[in-house]
Amino acid sequence: MLTKWRIAIILTALAMLSVLVTACGASTGGTPSADNTPTATKSGTTSKINCVSGTLGTGGSTALGPLVQAAAKSYQSQCSGANITTQLTGSGAGLKGVHEGGLQVGNSDNFVSLKKNPEYSDLTDNQVAVVIFSVIINKDVTGVTNLTSEQLKGIFTGKITNWKQVGGPDLQIAVISRPSGSGTRNTFSKYVLGGMDESVSGANHSTAKTSGDVAANVQSKSGSISYDTIDFAKKNNLTTVKIDGQEPTQDNVKTNAYKFWNIEHMYTKGAASGLAKSFIDYVKSADAASLRQQYGFMEISALSSDALAAKTPKA
Protein backbone atom coordinates (compact mmCIF):
# COMPACT_ATOMS: atom_id res chain seq x y z
CA MET A 1 0.00 0.00 0.00
CA LEU A 2 2.77 2.38 0.96
CA THR A 3 4.60 1.57 -2.23
CA LYS A 4 1.54 2.50 -4.32
CA TRP A 5 1.32 5.89 -2.56
CA ARG A 6 5.00 6.55 -3.21
CA ILE A 7 4.57 5.75 -6.90
CA ALA A 8 1.54 8.07 -7.15
CA ILE A 9 3.43 10.93 -5.49
CA ILE A 10 6.42 10.50 -7.82
CA LEU A 11 4.20 10.44 -10.93
CA THR A 12 2.39 13.60 -9.80
CA ALA A 13 5.70 15.40 -9.21
CA LEU A 14 6.98 14.40 -12.63
CA ALA A 15 3.81 15.70 -14.28
CA MET A 16 4.09 19.05 -12.50
CA LEU A 17 7.77 19.34 -13.48
CA SER A 18 6.89 18.66 -17.12
CA VAL A 19 4.30 21.47 -17.14
CA LEU A 20 6.80 23.87 -15.54
CA VAL A 21 9.55 23.10 -18.09
CA THR A 22 7.13 23.55 -21.00
CA ALA A 23 5.98 26.91 -19.68
CA CYS A 24 9.53 28.14 -19.22
CA GLY A 25 10.47 27.03 -22.73
CA ALA A 26 7.55 28.96 -24.20
CA SER A 27 8.44 32.11 -22.34
CA THR A 28 12.11 32.15 -23.41
CA GLY A 29 11.93 30.79 -26.95
CA GLY A 30 8.71 32.23 -28.33
CA THR A 31 9.88 35.85 -28.65
CA PRO A 32 13.33 36.72 -30.03
CA SER A 33 15.53 38.98 -27.96
CA ALA A 34 16.07 42.60 -28.88
CA ASP A 35 19.50 41.79 -30.33
CA ASN A 36 17.95 39.45 -32.91
CA THR A 37 14.99 41.59 -33.97
CA PRO A 38 15.40 43.40 -37.33
CA THR A 39 14.86 47.15 -37.24
CA ALA A 40 11.52 48.04 -38.79
CA THR A 41 11.50 50.88 -41.30
CA LYS A 42 8.66 53.40 -41.49
CA SER A 43 7.36 51.72 -44.63
CA GLY A 44 6.75 48.55 -42.65
CA THR A 45 9.53 46.53 -44.27
CA THR A 46 12.53 45.21 -42.40
CA SER A 47 15.96 46.70 -42.84
CA LYS A 48 19.28 44.90 -42.71
CA ILE A 49 21.08 48.20 -42.30
CA ASN A 50 24.24 47.98 -40.20
CA CYS A 51 23.94 51.13 -38.13
CA VAL A 52 27.16 52.97 -37.28
CA SER A 53 27.26 56.06 -35.10
CA GLY A 54 29.30 59.16 -35.83
CA THR A 55 29.53 62.17 -38.12
CA LEU A 56 29.98 61.89 -41.88
CA GLY A 57 30.64 64.69 -44.37
CA THR A 58 29.72 64.00 -47.99
CA GLY A 59 29.71 66.37 -50.95
CA GLY A 60 30.18 66.87 -54.66
CA SER A 61 27.87 66.03 -57.55
CA THR A 62 24.64 68.03 -57.62
CA ALA A 63 23.14 65.34 -59.85
CA LEU A 64 23.71 62.61 -57.25
CA GLY A 65 23.15 65.00 -54.34
CA PRO A 66 19.35 64.67 -54.02
CA LEU A 67 19.62 60.87 -53.74
CA VAL A 68 22.43 61.13 -51.17
CA GLN A 69 20.43 63.65 -49.13
CA ALA A 70 17.31 61.46 -49.17
CA ALA A 71 19.34 58.37 -48.28
CA ALA A 72 21.02 60.25 -45.43
CA LYS A 73 17.64 61.26 -44.03
CA SER A 74 16.42 57.67 -44.23
CA TYR A 75 19.61 56.27 -42.71
CA GLN A 76 19.51 58.71 -39.80
CA SER A 77 15.86 57.91 -39.11
CA GLN A 78 16.88 54.28 -38.59
CA CYS A 79 20.28 54.94 -36.98
CA SER A 80 19.85 57.70 -34.41
CA GLY A 81 23.57 57.91 -33.64
CA ALA A 82 24.52 58.99 -37.18
CA ASN A 83 24.85 62.57 -38.42
CA ILE A 84 25.33 62.86 -42.22
CA THR A 85 25.68 66.12 -44.14
CA THR A 86 25.84 66.67 -47.93
CA GLN A 87 27.33 69.64 -49.77
CA LEU A 88 26.12 70.28 -53.34
CA THR A 89 29.35 71.67 -54.75
CA GLY A 90 29.99 69.74 -58.00
CA SER A 91 31.90 66.57 -58.79
CA GLY A 92 35.29 68.26 -58.97
CA ALA A 93 34.89 69.84 -55.54
CA GLY A 94 33.72 66.52 -54.10
CA LEU A 95 36.84 64.71 -55.30
CA LYS A 96 39.11 67.49 -54.06
CA GLY A 97 37.34 67.54 -50.70
CA VAL A 98 37.73 63.84 -50.00
CA HIS A 99 41.34 63.84 -51.23
CA GLU A 100 42.28 66.76 -48.98
CA GLY A 101 40.35 65.39 -46.01
CA GLY A 102 37.57 67.96 -45.70
CA LEU A 103 35.01 65.30 -46.70
CA GLN A 104 34.80 61.60 -45.96
CA VAL A 105 32.83 60.83 -49.15
CA GLY A 106 33.17 62.63 -52.48
CA ASN A 107 30.26 62.22 -54.90
CA SER A 108 31.04 62.29 -58.62
CA ASP A 109 29.30 61.70 -61.95
CA ASN A 110 32.58 60.53 -63.48
CA PHE A 111 35.37 58.04 -63.07
CA VAL A 112 38.51 59.67 -61.69
CA SER A 113 41.05 60.27 -64.45
CA LEU A 114 44.44 59.42 -62.97
CA LYS A 115 46.08 60.76 -66.14
CA LYS A 116 44.70 64.22 -65.38
CA ASN A 117 44.77 63.88 -61.59
CA PRO A 118 47.45 61.37 -60.52
CA GLU A 119 47.19 62.64 -56.95
CA TYR A 120 43.78 60.99 -56.70
CA SER A 121 45.33 57.52 -56.75
CA ASP A 122 44.55 57.42 -53.02
CA LEU A 123 40.80 57.38 -53.69
CA THR A 124 38.62 54.26 -53.74
CA ASP A 125 35.72 54.08 -56.18
CA ASN A 126 32.32 52.99 -54.82
CA GLN A 127 29.77 52.80 -57.65
CA VAL A 128 26.15 53.22 -56.56
CA ALA A 129 23.81 53.89 -59.52
CA VAL A 130 23.35 55.07 -63.11
CA VAL A 131 22.30 58.64 -63.90
CA ILE A 132 20.54 59.63 -67.14
CA PHE A 133 21.15 63.13 -68.46
CA SER A 134 19.16 64.98 -71.11
CA VAL A 135 19.40 68.04 -73.34
CA ILE A 136 16.65 70.45 -72.30
CA ILE A 137 15.14 73.46 -74.07
CA ASN A 138 12.84 76.32 -73.13
CA LYS A 139 9.14 76.00 -74.02
CA ASP A 140 9.44 78.82 -76.58
CA VAL A 141 11.65 76.64 -78.76
CA THR A 142 8.96 74.95 -80.83
CA GLY A 143 9.41 72.41 -83.59
CA VAL A 144 12.72 71.01 -82.28
CA THR A 145 12.43 67.42 -81.07
CA ASN A 146 15.83 66.04 -82.10
CA LEU A 147 19.35 67.44 -82.29
CA THR A 148 22.35 65.65 -83.75
CA SER A 149 25.73 65.59 -82.07
CA GLU A 150 27.03 67.87 -84.81
CA GLN A 151 24.23 70.39 -84.25
CA LEU A 152 24.93 70.35 -80.50
CA LYS A 153 28.62 70.93 -81.18
CA GLY A 154 27.63 73.94 -83.28
CA ILE A 155 25.38 75.34 -80.57
CA PHE A 156 27.84 74.87 -77.70
CA THR A 157 30.78 76.31 -79.65
CA GLY A 158 28.82 79.36 -80.79
CA LYS A 159 28.66 78.45 -84.49
CA ILE A 160 24.89 77.97 -84.45
CA THR A 161 23.19 80.97 -82.83
CA ASN A 162 19.57 80.93 -83.99
CA TRP A 163 17.00 78.15 -83.61
CA LYS A 164 15.92 78.51 -87.24
CA GLN A 165 19.29 77.00 -88.20
CA VAL A 166 18.17 73.67 -86.72
CA GLY A 167 14.50 73.70 -87.73
CA GLY A 168 13.11 75.84 -84.92
CA PRO A 169 11.67 79.36 -84.69
CA ASP A 170 13.50 82.57 -85.56
CA LEU A 171 14.78 82.98 -82.02
CA GLN A 172 18.25 83.57 -80.59
CA ILE A 173 19.78 80.58 -78.82
CA ALA A 174 20.67 81.23 -75.17
CA VAL A 175 23.20 78.64 -74.01
CA ILE A 176 23.33 77.77 -70.32
CA SER A 177 26.47 75.86 -69.32
CA ARG A 178 27.69 74.18 -66.18
CA PRO A 179 30.99 75.37 -64.65
CA SER A 180 34.31 73.68 -65.28
CA GLY A 181 34.64 70.72 -62.91
CA SER A 182 30.98 69.76 -63.20
CA GLY A 183 30.53 66.04 -63.71
CA THR A 184 27.48 66.69 -65.87
CA ARG A 185 29.47 69.03 -68.11
CA ASN A 186 32.32 66.53 -68.37
CA THR A 187 29.89 63.78 -69.37
CA PHE A 188 28.25 66.06 -71.95
CA SER A 189 31.60 67.06 -73.45
CA LYS A 190 32.93 63.53 -73.61
CA TYR A 191 29.92 61.56 -74.83
CA VAL A 192 27.83 64.12 -76.72
CA LEU A 193 30.35 66.63 -78.05
CA GLY A 194 32.88 63.91 -78.84
CA GLY A 195 35.54 65.18 -76.45
CA MET A 196 35.18 68.82 -77.51
CA ASP A 197 34.75 71.31 -74.69
CA GLU A 198 32.20 74.11 -74.78
CA SER A 199 33.52 77.41 -76.11
CA VAL A 200 30.40 79.52 -76.58
CA SER A 201 30.54 83.03 -75.09
CA GLY A 202 28.85 86.42 -75.28
CA ALA A 203 25.62 87.98 -74.09
CA ASN A 204 23.55 84.88 -74.87
CA HIS A 205 25.71 82.60 -72.73
CA SER A 206 25.51 82.04 -68.98
CA THR A 207 26.59 79.49 -66.39
CA ALA A 208 24.44 77.75 -63.77
CA LYS A 209 26.17 76.20 -60.78
CA THR A 210 23.83 73.34 -59.85
CA SER A 211 21.38 70.97 -61.51
CA GLY A 212 18.53 72.81 -59.82
CA ASP A 213 19.80 76.15 -61.09
CA VAL A 214 19.99 74.79 -64.65
CA ALA A 215 16.37 73.62 -64.55
CA ALA A 216 15.15 76.96 -63.16
CA ASN A 217 17.13 79.01 -65.70
CA VAL A 218 15.98 77.02 -68.73
CA GLN A 219 12.42 77.24 -67.50
CA SER A 220 12.55 81.04 -67.28
CA LYS A 221 14.87 82.12 -70.13
CA SER A 222 13.34 82.27 -73.61
CA GLY A 223 15.29 80.41 -76.30
CA SER A 224 17.52 78.65 -73.81
CA ILE A 225 19.18 75.25 -74.01
CA SER A 226 21.22 73.29 -71.49
CA TYR A 227 21.63 69.79 -70.05
CA ASP A 228 20.50 68.25 -66.78
CA THR A 229 19.45 64.97 -65.22
CA ILE A 230 16.26 63.47 -66.60
CA ASP A 231 14.85 63.63 -63.06
CA PHE A 232 15.25 67.43 -62.81
CA ALA A 233 13.85 67.79 -66.34
CA LYS A 234 10.72 65.78 -65.55
CA LYS A 235 10.07 67.36 -62.17
CA ASN A 236 10.28 70.84 -63.73
CA ASN A 237 8.17 69.94 -66.80
CA LEU A 238 11.02 70.84 -69.16
CA THR A 239 11.14 69.82 -72.81
CA THR A 240 13.77 67.19 -73.57
CA VAL A 241 15.05 66.46 -77.06
CA LYS A 242 16.39 63.31 -78.65
CA ILE A 243 20.10 63.11 -79.36
CA ASP A 244 20.91 61.57 -82.75
CA GLY A 245 17.36 60.21 -82.85
CA GLN A 246 17.58 58.44 -79.47
CA GLU A 247 15.33 59.27 -76.52
CA PRO A 248 16.67 59.50 -72.94
CA THR A 249 15.01 56.31 -71.71
CA GLN A 250 16.26 53.48 -69.52
CA ASP A 251 15.85 50.97 -72.34
CA ASN A 252 18.09 53.06 -74.60
CA VAL A 253 20.65 53.50 -71.82
CA LYS A 254 20.79 49.76 -71.14
CA THR A 255 22.25 49.18 -74.61
CA ASN A 256 24.09 52.52 -74.85
CA ALA A 257 21.96 53.48 -77.86
CA TYR A 258 21.45 56.73 -75.95
CA LYS A 259 24.90 57.89 -74.85
CA PHE A 260 24.28 60.79 -72.47
CA TRP A 261 24.46 58.95 -69.16
CA ASN A 262 27.07 57.90 -66.65
CA ILE A 263 27.79 55.88 -63.53
CA GLU A 264 27.51 57.62 -60.16
CA HIS A 265 30.39 57.24 -57.70
CA MET A 266 30.92 57.83 -53.99
CA TYR A 267 34.69 58.06 -53.52
CA THR A 268 36.50 57.52 -50.23
CA LYS A 269 40.13 58.07 -49.29
CA GLY A 270 41.33 54.50 -49.06
CA ALA A 271 38.86 51.68 -48.57
CA ALA A 272 35.53 52.77 -47.10
CA SER A 273 35.17 51.95 -43.42
CA GLY A 274 32.99 52.75 -40.43
CA LEU A 275 30.04 55.05 -41.04
CA ALA A 276 31.20 55.84 -44.60
CA LYS A 277 31.08 52.16 -45.58
CA SER A 278 27.77 51.58 -43.82
CA PHE A 279 26.16 54.58 -45.52
CA ILE A 280 27.51 53.78 -49.00
CA ASP A 281 26.35 50.19 -48.61
CA TYR A 282 22.91 51.52 -47.73
CA VAL A 283 22.76 53.91 -50.73
CA LYS A 284 23.31 51.01 -53.15
CA SER A 285 21.36 48.39 -51.19
CA ALA A 286 18.00 46.82 -51.94
CA ASP A 287 16.60 48.81 -48.99
CA ALA A 288 17.28 52.06 -50.88
CA ALA A 289 16.02 50.82 -54.27
CA SER A 290 12.81 52.83 -53.98
CA LEU A 291 14.83 56.00 -53.35
CA ARG A 292 16.99 55.38 -56.40
CA GLN A 293 13.87 54.89 -58.48
CA GLN A 294 12.18 57.97 -56.99
CA TYR A 295 15.12 60.17 -58.04
CA GLY A 296 15.39 58.73 -61.53
CA PHE A 297 18.45 56.53 -61.13
CA MET A 298 18.95 53.16 -62.80
CA GLU A 299 20.54 50.04 -61.39
CA ILE A 300 24.06 49.32 -62.61
CA SER A 301 23.09 45.66 -62.92
CA ALA A 302 20.54 46.63 -65.61
CA LEU A 303 23.29 47.69 -68.04
CA SER A 304 24.46 45.44 -70.84
CA SER A 305 28.13 44.49 -70.78
CA ASP A 306 28.72 46.68 -73.86
CA ALA A 307 27.08 49.70 -72.20
CA LEU A 308 29.11 49.21 -69.03
CA ALA A 309 32.32 48.90 -71.03
CA ALA A 310 31.51 52.11 -72.94
CA LYS A 311 31.62 54.14 -69.72
CA THR A 312 34.47 52.29 -67.96
CA PRO A 313 37.97 53.64 -68.57
CA LYS A 314 40.36 51.16 -70.10
CA ALA A 315 43.28 50.24 -67.90
Domain assignment present for residue 10? The answer is: no
Residues 149 and 120 in one domain: no
The pLDDT, as a whole number, for residue 314 is 82
Task: Note whether 112 and 216 are same-domain residues.
Answer: no
Residue 28 included in any domain: no
Predicted confidence at residue 41, as pLDDT, reads 27
Question: Are residues 266 and 124 part of one domain?
Answer: yes
Decide if 7 is inside a domain: no
140 in any annotated domain: yes
Domain hosting 294: range is 52-129+262-311
Say what the pLDDT of residue 7 is. Answer: 39
The answer to whether residues 124 and 272 belong to one domain is yes
Q: Are residues 220 and 167 in the same domain?
A: yes
Based on the fold, state whether residues 101 and 187 are members of the same structural domain. Answer: no
User: In this structure, are 247 and 268 located in the same domain?
Assistant: no
One domain, residues 138 and 245: yes
DSSP string, the chain: -HHHHHHHHHHHHHHHHHHHHHHHHHHHHSS--GGGSPEEPTTS-EE------EEEEEEE-TTTHHHHHHHHHHHHHH-TTEEEEEEE--HHHHHHHHHHTS-SEEEESS---TTT-GGGGGEE--EEEEEEEEEEE-TT--S--EE-HHHHHHHHTTS--BGGGGTS-S-B-EEEEPPTT-HHHHHHHHHTSTTPPP---STTEEE-SSHHHHHHHHHHSTTEEEEEEHHHHHHTT-EEEEETTB---HHHHHTTSS--EEEEEEEEESS--HHHHHHHHHHTSGGGHHHHHHTTPBPGGGS-HHHHHHHSPP-
Domain shared by 122 and 267, yes or no: yes
Sequential pLDDT tens for the chain (315 residues): 434 434 343 444 444 434 333 333 333 233 222 222 222 222 223 457 899 999 999 999 999 999 999 999 999 999 999 999 999 999 999 999 999 999 999 999 999 989 999 999 999 999 999 999 999 999 999 999 999 999 999 999 999 999 999 999 999 999 999 999 999 999 999 999 999 999 999 999 999 999 999 999 999 999 999 999 999 999 999 999 999 999 999 999 999 999 999 999 999 999 999 999 999 999 999 999 999 999 999 999 999 999 999 999 886
- At residue 315, the pLDDT reads 63
- Indicate whether 16 belongs to any domain: no
Please check whether residue 194 lies inside any domain of the structure. yes
pLDDT of residue 68: 98
- Any domain includes 156: yes
Domain of residue 235, CATH code:
3.40.190.10
Residue 41 in domain: no
Residues 215 and 299 in one domain: no
For residue 22, what pLDDT is reported?
36
Whether residue 249 is found in the same domain as residue 270: no
How many domains would you assign to the chain? Answer: 2
Residues 140 and 57 grouped into a single domain: no
Pick the last residue of a domain from 231, 254, 277: 254
> In the prediction, which pLDDT does 305 show?
96
Which of 217, 236, 254 is the C-terminal boundary of a domain? 254
